[in-house]
């Protein structure tokens, strides 16, 4: 067009040439430099590829090691002068993730190996040992490191986070302050000693039971809640400078003790070794004048049940715990007793026998003989059947109907499938015995002897069932009808 100039176009072309030249000089590889390739053994490093890590600060500080305990599988921090203590895999994983992500921040050309360094020696699952030397003088958030590689040590500038994470005081903070730091807490036995009483609970063939101070099946829900509580209880702080056996701590005469025993099976070729992990937490004297916290110790050992020998796995570690945690250890045995009178379900009942009983509620329970039984019932192909005396003309089983069928089904349901309204060991003075009952289970369920009685609360009839020394009260609407049916069954005929 007339009057139009090409000057703007020329300016754009000149700028393009200048920027292109600048990009070439900025992005080109420096002479003699090597491309920053990842270090193969670090990529994807995780706990499954690791056996141990050693930390040497090179300044006279005690060397520390993180190892995997071969029987329990726990990762332990072991340092001279400090009791071994689990660190928890959740502490180790971020550290390994940080190592696996190591990359040069400024390239590698001209970097010199660190003079004063922290040496990390990692033993991998293939029995090779790899070394990382991290400098002790950071600059601008970076620190020089020398890392084992196939062609020799790689020297590079890395993020200073690694150096900070493996300082002695930082490493000690990895330790787990929970009373019972083992992952996946799954004890076989629990013992609590507090306030002059001892509570013992044990699991046999998958079923929990209260073993002391009374003997009764335990509630699965209550046991699960207890184990969840024990798994999160933790101390306020760990005290490396305080001797756990000193009079100051005072756990020799502990005010409370928690002991967990876990039965372990360790494969050994075609055989299996058995060990019992014993974890113990002991509470000692007040740690302050106001009594707001207490000294305590936490430890674990492995017991060989065959030889009776024991070896320390970790601890004892001294710590402080709050008074609120100490107060929570006061546990009533009846809290853990099953709300059901019989441990197996009604579907597993094979037969029931009833007899009149003149004994008082809460008294000793004796086995019911066949001859003493007033009525006997069994599960038949078509439902509950009544069994007569073997010499009587009507001794053949008869399928129950009507009120009797409903009565037996109601009794089985009450004993096996319904939660009681209350549990105790003290007998209501008004409770009167109605019948003695034997409940036979199929297979390994065995037999249960129960005394059944009645009482009155608020003008309403309640069913009282005694199994062992434990009494359970049923206040449901059906209780009155079942009591009436039971009285009919044991009445003289």
pLDDT confidence of 427, banded at 50, 70, 90? confident
The confidence score (pLDDT) of residue 13 equals 47
Per-position DSSP letters for 417-456, written without gaps between them: TS--SEEESSPPTT-EEEEEEEEEESGGG-EEEEEEEEEE
CA distance 478 to 408: 13
Residue 330 has pLDDT above 70, yes or no: yes
Domain ranges of the chain: 40-172, 189-335, 346-490
**Is 56 within 8 Å of 63 (Cβ atoms)?**
yes
Residues contacting residue 182 through CB under 8 Å, at least 6 positions apart: 72, 74, 86, 262, 277, 279, 300
Query: Among 3.40.140, 1.10.287, 3.30.9, 2.60.40, what is the CATH number of 40-172?
Result: 2.60.40
Report the side by side order of strands in the sheet with 197-204: 216-217, 207-212, 197-204, 189-194, 256-268, 271-286, 293-303, 310-322, 237-238
pLDDT digits (tens, 9 = 90+) for 438-488: 999 998 889 999 999 999 888 888 999 999 989 999 998 999 999 999 999
**What is the number of residues in the chain?**
493
Is residue 26 predicted with pLDDT exceeding 60?
no
Strand order in the sheet with 349-356: 398-399, 383-387, 375-380, 349-356, 432-441, 447-457, 460-467, 470-474, 422-424
Share of the chain above pLDDT 70, in %: 88
Say what the pLDDT of residue 32 is.
40
What pLDDT digit, counting tens, does each position of 176-208 carry? 999 999 877 889 999 999 888 899 999 998 889
The average pLDDT across 124-153 equals 88
Across residues 416-426, what is the average pLDDT? 89
Q: Are 178 and 234 in contact (CB under 8 A)?
A: yes
Three-class DSSP labels, 68-136: ECCCCCCEEEEECCEEEEECCHHHHHHHHHHHHCCCCCCCCCCCCCCCCEEEEEEEECCCCEEEEEEEC
The string of pLDDT tens digits covering residues 78-107 is 998 889 999 988 889 988 988 888 776 655
How many helices (H) and strands (E) the chain has is answered by 8, 26
pLDDT tens column, 334-391:
899 999 999 999 999 999 999 998 888 888 888 887 778 889 999 998 899 998 654 4
Give pTM, 2 decimals.
Answer: 0.80
Show the 3-state SS of 131-184. EEEEECCCECCEEEEEECCCCCCEEEEEECHHHHHCCHHHHHCCCCCECCCCCC
Selection from 469, 151, 182 nearest residue 337 by Cα: 469
Mean pLDDT of 39-65: 88
The two beta strands, 117-124 and 50-56, are: antiparallel
71: pLDDT strictly greater than 60:
yes
Per DSSP bridges, beta strands 117-124 and 82-86 are unpaired
């Amino acid at each position: 067009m007339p009057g139009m100039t090409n000057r703007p176009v020329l300016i754009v072309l000149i700028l393009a040439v200048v920027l292109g030249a600048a990009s070439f000089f900025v992005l080109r590889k420096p002479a003699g430099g090597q491309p920053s390739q990842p270090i193969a053994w670090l990529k994807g490093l995780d706990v499954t590829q690791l056996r141990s890590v050693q930390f040497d600060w090179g300044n006279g500080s005690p060397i520390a090691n993180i190892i995997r305990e071969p029987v329990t599988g726990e990762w332990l921090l072991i340092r001279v002068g400090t009791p071994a203590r689990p660190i928890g895999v959740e502490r180790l994983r971020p550290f390994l993730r940080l190592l696996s992500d190591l990359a040069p921040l400024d390239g590698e050309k001209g970097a010199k190996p660190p003079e004063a360094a922290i040496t990390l020696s990692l033993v991998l699952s293939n029995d090779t040992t790899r070394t990382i030397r991290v400098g002790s003088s950071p600059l601008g958030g970076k620190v020089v490191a020398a890392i084992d590689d196939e062609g020799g040590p790689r020297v590079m500038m890395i993020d200073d986070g690694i150096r900070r994470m493996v300082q002695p005081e930082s490493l000690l903070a990895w330790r787990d302050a929970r009373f019972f730091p083992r992952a996946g807490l799954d004890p076989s036995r629990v013992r609590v000693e507090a306030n002059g009483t001892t509570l013992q609970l044990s699991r046999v063939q998958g079923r929990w039971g209260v073993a002391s101070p009374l003997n009764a099946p335990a509630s699965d829900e209550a046991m699960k809640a207890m184990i969840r509580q024990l798994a999160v209880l933790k101390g306020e702080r760990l005290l490396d400078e305080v001797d756990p056996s000193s009079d100051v701590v005072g756990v020799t005469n502990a005010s409370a003790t928690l002991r967990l025993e876990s039965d372990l099976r360790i494969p050994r070729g075609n055989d299996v070794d058995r060990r019992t992990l014993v974890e113990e937490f002991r509470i000692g004297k007040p740690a302050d004048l106001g009594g707001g916290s207490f000294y305590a110790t936490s430890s674990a050992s492995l017991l060989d049940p065959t030889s009776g020998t024991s070896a320390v796995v970790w601890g004892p570690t001294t710590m402080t715990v709050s008074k609120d945690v100490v107060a929570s250890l006061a546990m009533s045995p009846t809290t853990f007793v099953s709300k059901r009178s019989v441990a197996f379900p009604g579907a597993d009942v094979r037969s029931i026998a009833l007899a009149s009983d003149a004994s008082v509620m809460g008294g000793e329970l004796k086995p019911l003989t066949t001859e003493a039984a007033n009525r006997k019932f069994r599960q038949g192909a078509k439902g509950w059947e009544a069994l007569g005396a073997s010499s009587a003309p009507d001794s053949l089983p008869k399928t129950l109907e009507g009120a009797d069928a409903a009565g037996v089904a109601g009794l089985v349901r009450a004993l096996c499938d319904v939660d009681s309204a209350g549990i105790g060991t003290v007998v209501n003075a008004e409770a009167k015995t109605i019948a003695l009952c034997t409940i036979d289970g199929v297979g390994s369920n065995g037999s249960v002897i129960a005394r059944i009685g009645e009482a009155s609360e608020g003008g309403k009839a309640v069913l009282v069932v005694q199994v062992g020394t434990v009494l359970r009260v049923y206040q449901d609407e059906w209780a009155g009808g079942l009591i009436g049916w039971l009285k009919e069954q044991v009445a003289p005929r």
